[in-house]
Amino acid sequence: MYTSHEDIGYDFEDDPKDKKTLKPHPDIDGGWAWMMVLSSFFVHILIMGSQMALGILNVEWLEEFHQSRGLTAWVSSLSMGITLIVGPFIGLFINTCGCRRTAIIGGLVNSLGWVLSAYAANVHYLFITFGVTAGFGSGMAYLPAVVMVGRYFQKRRALAQGLSTTGTGFGTFLMTVLLKYLCAEYGWRNAMFIQGAVSLNLCVCGALMRPLAPQKEGQDAVGRDPQALPAHAATAECAKSRGPRGRAAETEDTRAREEEAVGDLAAPAGPEKAGRAKDMCAFRLLKTVSQLTLRVRKGFWDWYAGYFGAASLFTNRMFVAFIFWALFAYSSFVIPFIHLPEIVNLYNLSEQNDVFPLTSIIAIVHIFGKVILGIVADLPCISVWNVFLMANFTLVLSIFILPLMHTYASLAVVCALIGFSSGYFSLMPVVTEDLVGIEHLANAYGIIICANGISALLGPPFAGWIYDITQKYDYSFYICGLLYLVGIFFLLIQPCIRIIEQSRKKYMGGARV
């Protein structure tokens, strides 16, 4: 089983050598590592589960503000889109502050966005408080949860990421029920206020993201203890691995330590010591600011090299085609979650849907789809690309036939198909690795997630605008299905080029004979 697109982490380790020293760590693939899985599981429940249940609030906002469906849908899509789009940029915070602090700050920002949204006077207010603020906080808490699972697991990384991603399905089911109950009992404003308090649990999840302690018993390449290396040798080795900017940073840091030592030696032990205490405090403050500046600069250059240094990825035509697919695909998965609650009201199926919501059917079957498709694609006689393409065709077919269904039973069957076929997200890491190689996987996923975020940002409002024009959701799903087909055609470039190359090689081999 593989990780899904929503659970891909960015590996922000500075150097492969660091990873080697982490292998014998007792928490790798065990111990506290499973707490990382539990923490990530609850982060997925609180963030992805809440976002997939926003259709409940979307109906409330339509009744409250009497705005067009296209304009109102922007609130939910902004929150979903920004959560994904800011993913690569959150790496800057992770490199500078670490995963734990980034996740805790993200939990506070996300909770603040929910609470401020409870006082919204119009839809445009929700754009800022919920779409931007809560969305940015979600991105800050979500990415560290994924990164920490990747750092704590090596042999069982796929299993760990797969277990943590099931929180999305469980969260969608739980949050749909919770928001529906809160809106019915207390109104949507109080519901958002309560949800803001619930989102503070993201800070607890972030507090569990304990960074791996440095290994005292770790061995270097020649079997010696890295801790026993002389200070000047360690500095030289570190500077060599970091390049000119790293050497400059190390030089400045060493110079600061030397100045501190000189200051400590120069400090008199007599009555003048109390008089120079203020100078020492000022010096230490200056040293702290200098170290913080160096840390921020180093984090920025690591982030810059990790993402903008991967521009060569765009010379890979297959990867560019994959980006175009990502731009069209994710919206077709998000649109049913946003607009199904209102479609149910239009078809007078609210009573049946209250018993078991259609969005919950998608969420539950989506969990099994990830597992089953991952197992099938892992079989040696099965091509991952073929499974991936078949799941995409099944999903686009489900999008086309959904408007034709007007009973709860038929809609439930189509929603089950959407949930199962969308499990292809678990195959995306393998497909991306086939395209760009393992060394570029993290950077490539940053770009793919941005493309998915753009798709989630534009898809639901586009469907709402089409309804405002045609007064039917049928055309919304038809047009989105057609756009999804365009994305799938881009995916077909990969097997077509392979077939052409194979036939060309056979032809050239036959001509030589």
Residue with tokens 């160096």: 294
For residue 476, the enclosing domain spans: 312-512
Alpha carbon distance, N-terminus to C-terminus of the chain: 45
pLDDT attached to residue 305: 62
pLDDT per residue as tens digits for the range 364-383? 888 888 778 777 776 778 88
pLDDT per residue as tens digits for the range 46-69? 998 888 788 889 889 988 888 887
Residue with tokens 């490199």: 95
CA 418 to chain centre: 21
Cα–Cα distance for residue pair 230/110, rounded to 1 Å: 46
Count CA atoms closer than 13 A to 123's CA, side-chain side. Answer: 22
String of b and e for 450-486 (b: at least 16 CB within 10 Å)? bbbbbbbbebbbbbbbbbeeeeebeebbbebbebbbe
Burial of 447 (0-12, 13-18, 19+ CB in 10 A): buried
Instruction: List the one residue out of 25, 20, 37 whose CA is nearest residue 156.
Output: 37
Instruction: List the one residue out of 61, 51, 25, 169 whose CA is nearest residue 110.
Output: 51
Burial of 182 (0-12, 13-18, 19+ CB in 10 A): buried
pLDDT attached to residue 475: 79
DSSP state of 214: P
How many domains are contained in the chain? 2
> Could you write out the DSSP letters of every residue in 298-340?
HHHHHHHHHHGGGGGGGG-HHHHHHHHHHHHHHHHHHHHHHHH
Instruction: Please state the φ and ψ torsions of residue 35, each to the nearest 5 degrees.
Output: -70, -30
pLDDT attached to residue 125: 92
Residues 426 and 412 in one domain: yes
Confidence check: pLDDT of 231 > 50: no
Residue 53: CB atoms within 10 A of its CB come to 28
Residues 301 and 328 in one domain: no
pLDDT attached to residue 4: 38
66 torsion bin: left (phi>0), alpha (psi -120 to 50), beta (else): left
Pair of tokens at residue 369: 């789809």
Give a yes or no: residue 237 inside a domain: no
More confident residue, 383 or 400: 400
Instruction: List the one residue out of 484, 461, 452 whose CA is nearest residue 83.
Output: 452
Count CA atoms closer than 13 A to 478's CA, side-chain side. Answer: 9
Please tell me the least confidently modeled range out of 108-122, 384-398, 439-453. Answer: 439-453
Residues 205 and 316 in one domain: no
CATH number at residue 114: 1.20.1250.20
Residues 498 and 358 in one domain: yes
Residue 425 contacts residue 6 (beta carbons within 8 Å): yes
Confidence check: pLDDT of 252 > 50: no
Residues 206 and 340 in one domain: no
Confidence check: pLDDT of 347 > 80: yes
Please report the sign of the dihedral spanned by the C-alpha atoms of residue 55, residue 61, residue 62, residue 67. negative
Residues 380 and 305 in one domain: no
Residues 302 and 334 in one domain: no
Residue 427 contacts residue 373 (beta carbons within 8 Å): yes
Residues 301 and 320 in one domain: no
- Find the farthest-apart pair of alpha carbons in the chain and give their distance in angstroms, rounded: 98
Domain termination residue (choose one: 309, 333, 361): 309
Pair of tokens at residue 368: 């099994």
Residues 139 and 119 in one domain: yes
Residues 345 and 303 in one domain: no
pTM for this model (two decimals): 0.65
Give a yes or no: residue 42 inside a domain: yes
Pair of tokens at residue 423: 């499990």
pLDDT per residue as tens digits for the range 115-136? 999 999 889 999 999 999 999 9
Give a yes or no: residue 85 inside a domain: yes
Residue 303 contacts residue 461 (beta carbons within 8 Å): no
Residues 139 and 52 in one domain: yes
